[in-house]
Amino acid sequence: MIKHGRIIKSISGFYDVIDNESEKLVRTRARGNFRKRGIKPIVGDMVAYDDSGDLGYILELLPRNNSLVRPPIANVDQAIVVTSAVEPKFSSNLLDKILVNIEHNDIEPLIYLTKTDMIDEDAYAKISEQLEGYYEADYVIFDDKDNYNPQQVQRLQEHFADKVTVFTGQSGAGKSTLLNHIDPELAIATAAISQTLNRGKHTTRQVSLFEISGGLVADTPGFSSLELIDIDKDELPTLFPEFVKYSSECQFRGCRHVNEPGCKVKEMVDSGKIMKSRYDNYLYFLNEINSYKKRY
């Protein structure tokens, strides 16, 4: 009998599938012709499978909404962008680059500020002011001064229901600490992975999905792509939500918000409605994309 489900774990050619209807966990293998056809199932894939024998068989991979390479995972709904106030220092350029990559992959980003307990009130006020522009761009932000207080962690978990969530952020930003506050088992798995990884070697990392608060959470913070090489210069303006909000009022359709007259986005930057640092980072990324084109 053909059933449908989602792969939540992959190990040595076996795939653990959670059934859509019964929520039963079934161990499966992929059909032999998958390899010949260049098809590789990954965690997060929605599949059609047959469980009539001792071992289930994946018959078909259903179309993916998106997929990531690092970690190898499909159909991700949201990414928690863990960004620290200090050590490493808060960087709007790095944050914006991560956000652009997430938007490019059709994943919803949420911003979680860590290490606020390590800075004084003045420094916290300064970062809070910088984050105002992200609120204006309609991002969901977690930036309490007491960064791991139970209420804020609970508020974050309320976003997990019926979604697949991955974590991302600069190394040392506090992803594992946040995971530990959400579910100690998740952080323990992450720490064990970190210890066994051989730095400098291309190590394939198998991902698993854990059920937390009615959703599925990847067991390792690993969305790491920071290159803009897959992003086209025409797509870039669409990856800044606050630009999209005002671009319909630009004089020219397809306005890139650089030198065009009658640009509503630049008008909003001048008025302070769009954060200057976000716009400056946009121009920086545009130059970066243009330099890729010249190089290749």
Are 74 and 202 found together in one domain?
yes
- Which residue, 63, 78, 102, sits at the end of a domain? 63
Which CATH number do you get for residue 246? 1.10.40.50
Q: What's the distance, CA 126 to chain centroid?
A: 26
Q: Which is more confident, 113 or 70?
A: 113
Are 137 and 199 found together in one domain?
yes
Are 246 and 145 found together in one domain?
no
Residue 213 is predicted with a pLDDT of 95
Residue 283 is predicted with a pLDDT of 97
* 54 in a labelled binding site: no
* pLDDT higher than 60, residue 194: no
Express each pLDDT in 40-69 by its tens digit. 999 999 999 999 888 999 999 999 999 988
Q: Is the peptide bond before 221 cis (omega within 30 degrees of 0)?
A: no
Are 14 and 93 found together in one domain?
no
Are 255 and 282 found together in one domain?
yes
* 97 in a labelled binding site: no
* 177 in a labelled binding site: yes
- Give 41: exposed, middle or buried? Use CB within 10 Å, 0-12, 13-18, 19+: buried
Are 58 and 74 found together in one domain?
no
H helices present in the chain, as ranges: 33-36, 92-104, 121-136, 150-157, 175-182, 184-196, 241-247, 264-271, 276-295
Mean pLDDT of 258-285: 96
Are 56 and 76 found together in one domain?
no
How many domains are contained in the chain? 3
* 175 in a labelled binding site: yes
Residue 203 is predicted with a pLDDT of 41
Are 149 and 282 found together in one domain?
no
* 255 in a labelled binding site: yes
In a domain, 223, yes or no: no
Tokens of 286: 């545009």
* 171 in a labelled binding site: yes
Mean pLDDT of 163-183: 89
Which CATH number do you get for residue 145? 3.40.50.300
Are 150 and 45 found together in one domain?
no
Are 44 and 80 found together in one domain?
no
- Percent of the chain surpassing pLDDT 90: 69
Pairing of strands 209-212, 108-114: unpaired
Tokens of 126: 């300064």
Residue 72 is predicted with a pLDDT of 87
In a domain, 178, yes or no: yes
In a domain, 10, yes or no: yes
Q: How far apart are CA 51 and CA 162, in angstroms?
A: 25
Backbone phi, psi, residue 294, to 5°: -65, -40
HSE, side-chain direction, 13 A CA sphere, residue 134? 22
Are 99 and 32 found together in one domain?
no
Sheet holding 140-142, edge to edge: 140-142, 108-114, 78-84, 164-168, 215-218, 209-212
Are 72 and 56 found together in one domain?
no
* 116 in a labelled binding site: yes
- Which residue, 218, 251, 284, sits at the end of a domain? 218
In a domain, 229, yes or no: no
* 200 in a labelled binding site: no
Which DSSP letter does residue 193 get? H
In a domain, 79, yes or no: yes
b/e burial code for range 196-230 (CB count within 10 A of at least 16 → b): eeeeeeeeeeebbbbebbebbbbbbbbbebeebee
What 3-state DSSP class applies to 185? helix
Express each pLDDT in 144-172 by its tens digit. 999 999 999 999 999 999 999 999 888 78
In a domain, 230, yes or no: no
112: containing domain: 68-218
Residue 204 is predicted with a pLDDT of 42
* 120 in a labelled binding site: no
In a domain, 226, yes or no: no
